A = this chain, B = another copy of it.
Amino acid sequence: MPGYKAPIEDTLFLLRDVLGYERLGNLAGFAEAPLDVVEAILGEAAKLAEEVFQPLNRIGDLEGCTRHQDGRVTTPKGFKPAYDAFRQGGWIGLSAPAAYGGQGLPMTLTSVLGEYLSAANLALSMYPGLTQGAIAAILAHGSDEQKSTFLPKMIAGEWSGTMNLTEPQCGTDLGLIKTRAAPNEDGSYAITGTKIFISSGEHDLTENIIHLVLARIEGAPQGTKGISLFIVPKRRVKEDGSLGEPNGVSCGSIEHKMGIHGNATCVMNYDGAIGFLVGEANRGLNAMFVMMNEARLAVGVQGLAQSEAAYQNAAAYAKERLQGRALSGPKQPTKPADPIIVHPDIRRLLMSMRAFNEGARALVLWTAMKADVSHRSDNDADRRAALDHLGLMTPIVKGVLTDTGFENTVKAQQVFGGHGYIAEWGMEQFVRDARIAMLYEGANGIQAMDLVGRKLGKDGGRAALAFFNEVTSFIKESGADESLAGFVKPVERALGHLQQATMWFMQNALARPDHAGAGATDYMHMFGLVALAYMWARIVKAAQTKLTAGDDGETARMEGKIATARFFMQRMLPETGAQLARITSGADSVMALAAEAF
């Protein structure tokens, strides 16, 4: 049975020594969460992940969710008490405003919580995860009445939330939405239509479910400009806040999926359900984007989380499984064979997972801290710069961390040899579960187009230029430090590739947008590699500082960081050269064949 241990030490090292968490002490919520408090909070989060969520991971996979004839859905055995423990701990509102019962702590902590919980049990973590997205949308666009009606219950975890976008005929292209909203006399709307792929759409964990639904008000313009966002509670809410009658919404069926069996992915039928407009009419996509951006970062974290959990189990197996002898001579001559961790090809697999995980964790925390700055700073320039960073990094975190996270679950499975294919070992579940993250909240090709087609050129390329400048400054500052040379030079070379690719798009994609489309995925991954490389260079700098300071207890771990950084630079970063070649080959060979030839 697989295990999981939350990487608290690494999280704290990154926050404290690499990313300067304490420099944000003047922001709201940060004063209440200095690093010693963070450590205590993460300790509790780790317990919940390791002791409550993780033991249910395989049960959830085996048992799945059950839809009863009356439309009720039962979650796997143990999910309800685990959810209750989570809810009662006040975790859902960790970063939510105190005005609605939240704790107002940094969103950065919610992001760490997300990593630990989704590593331990992705399917279970998705129930409160969707609620957090729904809270964010209501906070940003709901009326005061909507906020006071729904937020306290949602933040307390008594009610949960969902996002309802997809329909059978439309996923990516939301302009094709058919679900319709007919105005009622009291200002509410009657919502009618079918939504598919609704995660946590129906379940037995909470007494009410607050669906956020995209629909088209009768007579609205065609396409994406005629879409509005509605709150549709599963059960109506009386004036006194207590629960009323069922609303006209029900789960028609549960999807049979490759993985995340413990989460109920529902077909939701709306049959004149009463809904309340959120924000302005026909501006629903705008409102939904708040949820989507938050959700996309959270999904990127899921990619990292599954990779970390899979890695931990692969590393443990590699140290135990005896098979063959080291090429450099027996390492455990008294045993019938050496543990397979002596084999360079096994090391290669483990190191590539590790180098990704630790770099990606830094990238996530860096971006989460920017999210806090964007919400909580009173300095306009800081907020703007943080928002720029957030917009730029959201598709990269989502696309790169889920693609590579999935690949890593496959690598971890490979370490187990044939046993990796056997369900009882739990490694194939990581592969099946991690696979969803490349697809939902915008398939990764959409992330790549969001980056290349929208984020890159926005405001004259301000966000990308700011990133390039920051990395360039780091390179200049660190250039004189010889102990960093082996790390700074590869970053400089990779950044050069990224800038060349960016320039190539600027010169070619305007005349032929297909050039951007054909290179988008490679560009997204190249950007991700450069961002990870920058994180690793900063990690090395911090590690060198600690080593120089001579903190003996940390020596081995800091030397490990430096060794892992070297692996990243030598073995993972060179990919940018091939990516550049592909990008600058353009769309010709990609688009040459007629559609009928396929």
- A-to-B contact residues, CB < 8 Å: 166, 169-173, 175-176, 196-197, 255-259, 315, 318-319, 322-324, 327-328, 336-337, 339, 341-351, 354, 406, 410, 413-414, 417-418, 420-424, 428, 431-432, 435-436, 438-440, 443-445, 448-449, 512-514, 516-518, 520-521, 556, 560, 563-564, 566-567, 570-571, 574-575, 577-578, 581-582, 585, 587-595, 597-598
CA distance A169 to B520 in the complex (A): 46
Residue pair B563, A574 in contact (C-beta under 8 Å):
no
Q: Which residues of B have CB within 8 Å of A349? A: 445
Pick from B327, B428, B587: contact of A344, CB under 8 Å = B587
Q: Which residues of B have CB within 8 Å of A413? A: 435
- A592: min CB distance to chain B, Å: 4
Interface centre among A436, A574, A578, A585 (most CB of B within 10 A): A578
Main secondary structure of the interface of A (DSSP, over half): helix
CA distance A428 to B346 in the complex (A): 27
CA distance A421 to B417 in the complex (A): 25
Residue pair A414, B173 in contact (C-beta under 8 Å):
no
Pick from B336, B351, B582, B598: contact of A176, CB under 8 Å = B336
A417 and B439 in contact (CB under 8 A), knowing A327-B514, A327-B517? yes
Residue of B nearest to A351 (CB): B590
A574 and B582 in contact (CB under 8 A), knowing A315-B598, A337-B176, A440-B418? yes
Residue pair B517, A343 in contact (C-beta under 8 Å):
yes
Q: Which residues of B have CB within 8 Å of A448? A: 345
Q: A255-B422, A258-B423, A417-B443 are in contact. List 14 more A-B contacts (CB 8 A).
A: A171-B417, A172-B417, A259-B421, A341-B598, A344-B516, A345-B445, A347-B590, A348-B518, A414-B438, A418-B440, A421-B436, A428-B432, A566-B588, A575-B578
Q: Which residues of B have CB within 8 Å of A516? A: 327, 344
Residue pair A173, B517 in contact (C-beta under 8 Å):
no
Q: Which residues of B have CB within 8 Å of A257? A: 421-423, 428
Residue of B nearest to A355 (CB): B589
Q: Which residues of B have CB within 8 Å of A173? A: 322-324, 337
Residue pair A420, B439 in contact (C-beta under 8 Å):
yes
Copies of this chain in its oligomeric complex: 2
Residue pair A581, B577 in contact (C-beta under 8 Å):
yes
- A348: min CB distance to chain B, Å: 5
Q: Which residues of B have CB within 8 Å of A341? A: 595, 598
Residue of B nearest to A512 (CB): B328
Residue pair B575, A592 in contact (C-beta under 8 Å):
no
Residue pair A351, B593 in contact (C-beta under 8 Å):
yes
Residue of B nearest to A443 (CB): B417
- A163: min CB distance to chain B, Å: 13
Residue pair A589, B563 in contact (C-beta under 8 Å):
yes
CA distance A322 to B422 in the complex (A): 38
Pick from B428, B560, B566: contact of A589, CB under 8 Å = B566
- A543: min CB distance to chain B, Å: 14
A348 and B444 in contact (CB under 8 A), knowing A592-B563, A597-B556, A598-B315? no
Residue pair A595, B339 in contact (C-beta under 8 Å):
yes
Residue pair B595, A342 in contact (C-beta under 8 Å):
yes
Q: Which residues of B have CB within 8 Å of A342? A: 595
- A339: min CB distance to chain B, Å: 7
- A583: min CB distance to chain B, Å: 10
- A300: min CB distance to chain B, Å: 17
Residue pair B518, A344 in contact (C-beta under 8 Å):
yes
Residue of B nearest to A586 (CB): B570
- A158: min CB distance to chain B, Å: 29
Residue of B nearest to A436 (CB): B421
